[in-house]
Chain A
Amino acid sequence: MDIAPNRYGFFTDTSICIGCKACEVACKEWNDVPDDGFVFRATSYDNTGSLGANTWRHVAFIEQQRPVGQADGRGQVGGQDQGEGPAGGPGPDSIERWLMSSDVCKHCTHAACLDVCPTGALFRTEFGTVVVQEDICNGCGYCVPACPYGVIDRRERDGRAWKCTMCYDRQLGGLEPACAKACPTDSIQFGPLDELRLRAEERVERLHEEGRPEARLYGASPDDGVGGDGAFFLLLDEPEVYGLPPDPVVTTRDLPAMWRWAGGAAVSLVGAMAVSFLSERLVGRIAAHDRSLGRRR
């Protein structure tokens, strides 16, 4: 689907991410995003946890132990089932690996947040990205549970919704977004979306040739449940391992059916009401009939 003649996007290649968090910091700096408070999660080196109103780039850290020689990506994930090995931990036959991935708003082709916003605060820019206008958002919070990726969130301090703008202001000035600029390994790449998609496919092929069959693209296909993401990823394991939904769908896809079912329920409500009033009259008439019979008897 053509949502902008010049659609720009992010390609995040997690295979070269070193987890330095330069993107998180650069984003906060440029966009003046407030502090989340100091949280120590004690699960991994991740201390931001997830995307939110005050975290527009989030680096996930996944520590895995996998038996040597098993490279199919079916390793274990912290918190779920640590250790597939006999001792349940790192043994002589297992290696450790780190998966790091910088997550961000996907700038979906079919964006649920944009569809459901009742004020028009969320809009599609000329770069094909999805941006919230903070002076229009009235904080209804509807976009929050609508996003199938759990990205956008309401900031309790001002009651409005916030998320990544793909540095709309910088793009207007011909600059690349702050996170991409700051990334020292080029794990985050910014550019015209079709160009990025070609580059990403080449990269996956190369990794496959190098004996890393687990490399895969996520969100790159325009045929997926959200019509393809403006920000897509190269992953080294299943999406859910990174906290991403394996097969997201734009929430509003089923909306016509929803209105139909609600219509059916509304008609039933009127029907039940009519039956209640008519039945009473019927019952009343039968009673009157009985009474008159009784009198006659």
Chain B
Amino acid sequence: MREDAMVPEAEFRSYYGQPVIKAPVWHEPHMPVYLYLGGLSGAASVMAAMAGLTGRDRLALTARVTAAVGATAGAALLAAELGRPERFLNMLRVFKLTSPMSVGSWILAAHSGLTTIAAASAVAAALPSAAAKVVAVLPAASAPVRALPTAGDAATLAIAVTGPLMATYTAVLLADTAVPAWHEAHRELPFLFAGSALASAGAMGMLATPRVEAGPARAVAALGAVMETAAGAVMERRLGLVGEPYRLGRAGRLMRAARVLTAGGGLLATVAGRSRTLSAISGLALTAGSLCIRFGALEAGRLSAADPKYTVVPQRRRLEAGNPASVPERP
């Protein structure tokens, strides 16, 4: 793979080497951590539903709480990115299918609401004395508390639907820009993010559930690691020149770190059932890998926007091949 980095310097012209497109203005760590939390929460939701269906109550509790905490913390970070919390509400003024940001805001709003209900019911079931105390202090709360188990189960089924969307829409969010390293990667990015989401949710399951019940979480972590690694490899291979930013500088270091952490953590997950220490190491490595992927992808996007080469060369090649872009009639 090393030889791939030796792509000959592309010959092209530009305006004093200045960028043609604008780099994303999103802040760090808000945006990459949001991407991580969204993935974590999304995959944990599906895990919660399946753990519930297969009668693994401890794993279901962990997964429901993870899903809720991930979604709420993610929403808070997004609001912080916008500068003022009420700006998030502004997003819900309209629903626009052509805007992944708009679609995503609605997914996030629905998902975080549902995960909160699911988690509240699981916590109330796990701590019946606390629920009783709440009712004693606040008699008005008794009806909702009684309705919680049913509402929680319904919400858990619903988040099994919003969760996968939550984990993958962020890939469309990045890809639907003029940033070459993101736009051209629109096939692989969703799988990269879905794999990373599985790995991180599996990691949480391993970290916060007794080993006997965490079997599926270990399998999820391992499968996620495989999906993420495969998607990353296919992406860099297919993109060629445009994929170069994923190998360069800080982006390259983050992507390489992610690969090592994810592959290592995934491998460990397959044997981690034997020891608590192994489980912990594997879970932490996968979590770190998942974070690195998001920081790396964002940085690669910045690099690819900053160098006019990635914008000009592919377009020039297209023109020279007599194959200019055209826009067919749209709705």
Contact = CB atoms under 8 A, between A and B. Distances in A.
A262 B326 CA distance: 24
Q: Select the residue from A43, A144, A159, A281 with max chain B CB neighbours within 10 A.
A: A144
A266 B107 CA distance: 14
Contacts, number: 258
Contacts of A110: 327, 330
Interface of B: 12-26, 42-43, 46-47, 50-51, 54, 81-83, 87, 90-91, 93-94, 96, 98-102, 105, 160, 164-165, 167-169, 171-173, 175-179, 183, 186-187, 190-191, 193-194, 197-198, 202, 215-217, 219-220, 223-224, 227, 301, 305, 308, 311-312, 315-316, 318-319, 324-327, 329-330
Given A43-B16, A268-B191, A280-B219, A147 B318 contact: no
Interface string A131-164: 0000010111110111111111110000100000
A152 B135 CA distance: 54
Contact of A255 (B43, B176, B227): B176
Given A227-B327, A248-B315, A266-B194, A145 B301 contact: yes
Nearest to B26: A141
A94 to B, nearest CB: 17
A136 B92 CA distance: 12
A118 B94 contact: yes
A32 interface: no
Contacts of A252: 98, 176
B190 A145 contact: no
A161 to B, nearest CB: 9
B46 A273 contact: yes
B325 A224 contact: yes
Interface in A228-277: 238, 240-255, 257-259, 261-270, 272-277
A280 B216 CA distance: 6
B98 to A, nearest CB: 4
Contacts of A250: 327
Given A226-B327, A240-B308, A268-B227, A119 B91 contact: yes
B25 A268 contact: no
A245 B215 CA distance: 52
Given A225-B327, A262-B169, A265-B193, A272 B224 contact: yes
Contacts of A281: 54
A262 B176 contact: no
Nearest to B314: A247
Interface stretch (A75-83, A174-182, A190-198): A75-83
Nearest to B53: A277
A200 interface: no
A14 to B, nearest CB: 13
> Looking at chain B's contact residues, is the secondary structure mostly helix, strand, loop, or mixed?
helix
A227 B176 CA distance: 18
6 contacts: A44-B16, A119-B94, A246-B312, A249-B325, A266-B194, A270-B164
A210 interface: no
B211 to A, nearest CB: 13
A204 interface: no
A259 B101 CA distance: 13
B311 A245 contact: yes
B168 A265 contact: yes
A141 B30 CA distance: 13
A246 B14 contact: no
Contact of A138 (B91, B183, B202): B91
Contacts of B18: 49-50, 243
Nearest to B19: A150
A60 interface: yes
B164 A269 contact: yes
B155 to A, nearest CB: 17
A72 to B, nearest CB: 14
Given A116-B99, A247-B319, A266-B165, A253 B327 contact: yes
Nearest to B105: A118
Nearest to B202: A276
Given A148-B178, A225-B326, A240 B171 contact: no
B200 to A, nearest CB: 12
Given A255-B176, A262-B169, A276 B219 contact: yes
Query: Which 7 residue pairs of A and B lie closest in terms of their CB atoms, listed nearest first?
Result: A243-B15, A225-B325, A265-B190, A276-B219, A266-B164, A118-B102, A79-B16
B186 A254 contact: yes
Contacts of A269: 42-43, 46, 164, 167-168, 194, 197-198
A144 B22 CA distance: 6
A227 B329 CA distance: 9
A259 B14 CA distance: 33
Nearest to B328: A253
Contact of B178 (A112, A159, A277): A112
B290 to A, nearest CB: 14
Contacts of A184: none
Given A252-B98, A262-B171, A246 B325 contact: no
Contact of A146 (B14, B19, B91, B178): B178
Nearest to B305: A145
